[in-house]
Amino acid sequence: MKRIGFIGLGIMGKPMSQNLLKAGYQLTVYNRSRPAVDSLVQAGAKAASSPKEVAQDSDVVITIVTDTPDVEQVILGKNGVLEGARKGLVVIDMSTISPKVTRRVSAELGKVGAAMLDAPVSGGDKGAREATLTIMVGGPEDVFNDCLPILQAMGKTVTRMGDSGAGQLTKLANQILVVGNMIGVCECLVFAKKAGLDQKKVIESLSAGAASSWSLINLGPRAVDGDYAPGFKVKLLQKDLKLVLASANELGVALPGSGMGHQLYNALEAAGRGEDGTQALITIFEELAGLR
Ligand code: NAP
């Protein structure tokens, strides 16, 4: 079995790495802050003091950190993965980041004979815990086939989308649906409340119909209960929407819905809710409806 290194033990990375341990993989972990490392060590993982050390100890290194500069830092930076890389090492970046930078990082790793897959995920904290993530992969086909069992220990639907960067581009396409869905869910639930309907019953009823969505089923109840704990943080969706709109500009595609979603989330951030889950968007629609 391949030795796996795991960098980034946040909301997503911690349960994903726990699922790799459960699947029987030998795991070396690194996280910038310590508490998450301790709980993984208790579960059987080995702690490393830097991404470089993780790479030296592993056949496959998985990264899932916040943003594009963070991936550059943990892979290309001082004491980063590249410094510990060698021919045959595989790096799987599961963060959501710039497709362009992904291709550059992949090329840098290629110079020492290491390979890279971009494998961003969808399915939220729930999918990470339950190992049911959707994983969209870019990179060489032989490396993908070799790493498939590892990805299947964390996800249910694992698809190779094309060469380096194709996984990230697919994830950006996913985020177009995410923001559109969330706006729909919020408008629906605020309308229901104003109309005197039981919002939970509305969710229950519509979840079985043609307008159902993951957001309605999983985030609708949290929004109705005023439970804004993340899940997926507003500031991370905003990071993704910036990537979506930048790619749309490069491609010459008009995305008015995503642009509007980005602006509505700007309002939510301005209200101090950047660390909340994306379902907190309902508060903006409640304001607009005079419900606050
Ligand atoms: P999170 O809870 O904020 O965790 C981020 C992790 O990255 C933390 O462990 C953090 O370390 C680490 N990190 C960030 N910058 C770093 C740096 N420069 N050097 C070293 N470590 C660094 O975020 P998350 O929700 O797990 O999301 C991680 C990635 O998955 C993001 O790209 C996000 O867009 C994507 N994603 C998230 C979801 C979701 O539902 N949450 C769904 C799909 C995709 P510290 O503990 O020290 O802060």
- Pocket test of ligand 1: the residue of 236, 239, 278 to mutate, having most ligand atoms within 8 Å of its CB, is 236
Centre of ligand 1 to C-alpha 141, Å, is 27
Question: Residue range 155-164: average pLDDT?
Answer: 98
The answer to whether residues 281 and 194 belong to one domain is yes
Tell me if 85 CB under 6 Å of ligand 1. no
Tell me if 174 CB under 6 Å of ligand 1. no
Q: What is the pLDDT of residue 17?
A: 98
Question: Residue range 145-172: average pLDDT?
Answer: 98
Q: What is the pLDDT of residue 130?
A: 98
The answer to whether residues 192 and 272 belong to one domain is yes
Q: How many domains does the chain have?
A: 2
Question: Residue range 136-159: average pLDDT?
Answer: 98
Domain that holds residue 208: 169-288
**Paired tokens of 95:** 């963060």
Centre of ligand 1 to C-alpha 10, Å, is 5
60-63/90-93 β-pairing: parallel
The predicted-structure confidence for 35-52, as pLDDT tens digits, reads as follows: 999 999 999 999 999 999
Q: What percentage of residues in the chain have a pLDDT greater than 90?
A: 99
Q: What percentage of residues in the chain have a pLDDT greater than 70?
A: 100
Q: What is the pLDDT of residue 212?
A: 97
Tell me the C-alpha to C-alpha distance, in Å, between residue 244 and each of 28, 123, 163, 190, 194. 33, 18, 19, 27, 33
Nearest CA, atom 39, ligand 1: 232
Decide: 284 and 268 in contact? Cβ < 8 Å.
yes
Q: Which residues pair with 63 in a beta bridge?
A: 7, 93
- pTM for the full predicted model: 0.96
The predicted-structure confidence for 57-102, as pLDDT tens digits, reads as follows: 999 999 999 999 999 999 999 999 999 999 999 999 999 999 999 9
Per-residue pLDDT band for 114 (boundaries 50, 70, 90) equals very high
Give one DSSP letter per residue of 64-109, joined into a string: --SSHHHHHHHHHSTT-GGGG--TT-EEEE-S---HHHHHHHHHHH
The answer to whether residues 182 and 206 belong to one domain is yes
Per-residue pLDDT band for 137 (boundaries 50, 70, 90) equals very high
The answer to whether residues 130 and 147 belong to one domain is yes
Nearest CA, atom 3, ligand 1: 10
Centre of ligand 1 to C-alpha 25, Å, is 22
Shortest CA distance to 6 belongs to which of 23, 26, 22?
Answer: 26
The answer to whether residues 28 and 122 belong to one domain is yes
Tell me if 50 CB under 6 Å of ligand 1. no
Centre of ligand 1 to C-alpha 185, Å, is 25
Tell me if 31 CB under 6 Å of ligand 1. yes
Q: Which of 100, 130, 162 is the last residue of a domain?
A: 162
Active site residues: 171
Q: What is the pLDDT of residue 39?
A: 93
The answer to whether residues 55 and 122 belong to one domain is yes
Centre of ligand 1 to C-alpha 13, Å, is 7
Q: Which of 162, 197, 229 is the last residue of a domain?
A: 162
The CATH number of residue 224's host domain is 1.10.1040.10
The predicted-structure confidence for 20-30, as pLDDT tens digits, reads as follows: 999 999 999 99
The predicted-structure confidence for 247-257, as pLDDT tens digits, reads as follows: 999 999 999 99
Decide: 201 and 188 in contact? Cβ < 8 Å.
no
Mean pLDDT of the chain: 97
Q: What is the pLDDT of residue 28?
A: 98
d(CA 139, CA 40): 29
The answer to whether residues 151 and 275 belong to one domain is no
The answer to whether residues 66 and 176 belong to one domain is no
Q: What angle do the packed helices 234-251 and 166-194 form, to 10 degrees?
A: 120
- Pocket test of ligand 1: the residue of 9, 12, 136 to mutate, having most ligand atoms within 8 Å of its CB, is 12
Q: What is the pLDDT of residue 126?
A: 93
Nearest CA, atom 11, ligand 1: 32
Amino acid at 82: L
Shortest CA distance to 249 belongs to which of 262, 232, 233?
Answer: 262
Decide: 281 and 186 in contact? Cβ < 8 Å.
yes
